[in-house]
Structure 1
Amino acid sequence: MTFTKKDIQYIITIAFSALVYAFGIESFVSSGNLFPGGFAGISRLVVMLIERQIGLVIPFGVIYWIMNFTVVLFIWNRIGHKFVLYSILWFSLSSLFSIIINVPIVTQDMLLIAVFGGLINGFAIGLALRSNASSGGTDFIAIDLSVRLKRPTWNYLLGLNAFVLMLAGLAFGWDKALYSIIFQYVSTQVVNTMHQRYKITRVQVITDHADKVCDAVFSTVRHGITRIEVEGAFKHQPHTMLLITVNNYQLPEVINCIRKADEHAFMTLNAVEKIIGNYYQKPLE
């Protein structure tokens, strides 16, 4: 496991993401008594139940850190070590920031809290994921499923959070639980939009320089290419069609290298719902 200049950029982004997340928790989630998804929601529920039952106020960050670190002990050998270390850094910093920062309440309107709190929450988590980290907890589960199923699974987390919301509704009222659903939905959609690693695109390329384009793609990503000899219907000139399947995280690099190899290449892009068969997905470090 080696560290590069890119890792320094990741660490800075992770720290900023953790700060944004803590701001969202303290300024929106806590003020609206909402329940985020995953371990954050469970932590909020535990904190509120302890305070109501015995009057003891435990910081959200303490419970959140303990729960996440416990999961790390079980998934250490299942996911890349650098990814896990970055995730530990993220949820440790977000836990610390949520304890030490003092932020004002932005609004008392529950709908605004749910929508904008969800946007901030999703942005922070999405930023962490783009920096090779996660918020831990159920994110580890979603990432593991994405690798196995070869498609994004973030929307499935809404189902995993249903039990927490049911308990929250029974304990603290269904209005908070319902607003929390809005919060979680907005957050999940933002994460799903920002995190492109497990979204797959098929690139169709029509070119007269197939060998040059293939060499450029092979030097950029580790994916196979299907070559089909085709003919233009208008001028009846021969061309080569190349079929390449890549994830959206790699897509800009692939398009750029094709353009450099053949600036006149014609490309179309199609979203892939699911892959059956051999497809290489670079593992998390």
Structure 2
Amino acid sequence: MNKLEDLSRQHDSISKISAGIVYALAVAIALNFFWTPGHIYASGITGFAQIIHSLSKHLPIPLATSVMYFVLNIPLFIIGWLKIGHRFTIFTLLTVLLASIMMRVIGPVKISYDPIICAVFGGVINGVGTGLALKTGISTGGLDILGIVLRKKTGKSFGTINIAFNLVIVVCAGFVFGWSRALYTALNIFINGRVIDNVYNQHQKMQVLIVTEKPKHIIDGIQNKMHRGITILHDVEGAYSHTEKTVLLTVIDRYDMYDIEKIVSKSDPYAFMSISQVTTVHGRFVEQKPV
């Protein structure tokens, strides 16, 4: 059992690292091949890093977008470490570091493209990379971490937070590059978001099956924090240990996975948990606001 768990964990880690590399390449290509030549800002922390770079051009040594992208994420790494989880934060840090390096290694092209092409292709390429990263359970830093934490604290949807931050970026694009570029920036942000949703599909429903010897603690945690219904199967037996166990069955939204994994690991570190994607849900299922 331990060997299987180790192999599963290694496979999961390799998948996360591979997705981090793909994202790093995607954001670097989008930034240096399309956004920078087209004078277009990205969404989230990448966009803020671009803004700082633009405002620092009059300095003796301009602040590079790649450097500022990493620096702006440092406070969010700390928040993620304290509020979300250590493993999650480590993979996020690695992903952001790889992206910063790729942004520096892959230099901006000198070719001048039509700004609409820059907005469309930049948004699509970055959206695919970000969506694949999120699909494997890692964060690309920035608003991902902030959204998870703020959702837990305030109950506000991530969509509201994302719109507020990106509105600031669009306005900055208007003042720095002109209002036509602000329109292209808004188009890029919209396309990027739609592609992320299509690749990641954060609204997927996930069926969670938990086999545990401490059902009460897990049930209390899920009902108190996540407000989800649970089906309880009593008097089941483990074939290997022949000990009495309880099976818990619930359906959650994909963005609730961090919460339920934390609840289960804290309540019963030896519990078995299986999570699978659900195609359709009928009956009483409360749709909660996504992060």
The two structures have a TM-score, normalised by structure 1, of: 0.69
Q: How many residues align?
A: 236
Superposed, 1:249-268 pairs within 5 Å as 253=276
Instruction: List per-residue Cα deviations over 1:14-57 (Å, max 9, x = no partner).
Output: 11221111111111111111111111111101111111x23634
Cα distance change of structure 1 residues 275 and 128 upon mapping to structure 2, 3 Å threshold: closer
Unpaired runs of 5+ residues, structure 1, are 204-215, 227-242, 257-266, 277-285
1:194 pairs with 2:199: yes
1:110 aligned partner: 115
Contact 2:46–2:69 (CA<8 Å) still a contact in 1?
Answer: yes
The one of 85, 101, 104 equivalent to 2:90 is 85
Contact 1:14–1:131 (CA<8 Å) still a contact in 2?
Answer: no
Cα distance change of structure 1 residues 111 and 4 upon mapping to structure 2, 3 Å threshold: same
Structure 1 residues 180-189 or 13-22, which shifts more?
Answer: 13-22
Superposed, 1:126-275 pairs within 5 Å as 126-146=131-151, 153-154=158-159, 156-197=161-202, 199=203, 201=205, 224-225=230-231, 245-247=251-253, 253=276, 274-275=287-288
The amino acid that maps onto 1:180 is T
Superposed, 1:42-121 pairs within 5 Å as 42-51=48-57, 53-54=58-59, 56-102=61-107, 104=109, 108-121=113-126
User: Counterparts of 1:273 and 1:156 in 2: how far apart (Å)?
Assistant: 22
Cα distance change of structure 1 residues 124 and 270 upon mapping to structure 2, 3 Å threshold: farther
Cα distance change of structure 1 residues 255 and 67 upon mapping to structure 2, 3 Å threshold: closer
Give the drift of 1:168.
Answer: 2.7
Contact 1:107–1:113 (CA<8 Å) still a contact in 2?
Answer: no
% of aligned pairs identical? 23
The one of 30, 34, 39 equivalent to 1:33 is 39
1:22 aligned partner: 28
Contact 1:155–1:188 (CA<8 Å) still a contact in 2?
Answer: no
Based on CA coordinates, which of the two structures has the bigger radius of gyration? 1
Contact 1:201–1:270 (CA<8 Å) still a contact in 2?
Answer: no
Unpaired runs of 5+ residues, structure 2, are 1-5, 212-221, 223-228, 233-248, 258-273
What root-mean-square deviation, in Å, do the aligned CA atoms of Structure 1 and Structure 2 show? 3.7
The two structures have a TM-score, normalised by structure 2, of: 0.67
Cα distance change of structure 1 residues 271 and 159 upon mapping to structure 2, 3 Å threshold: farther
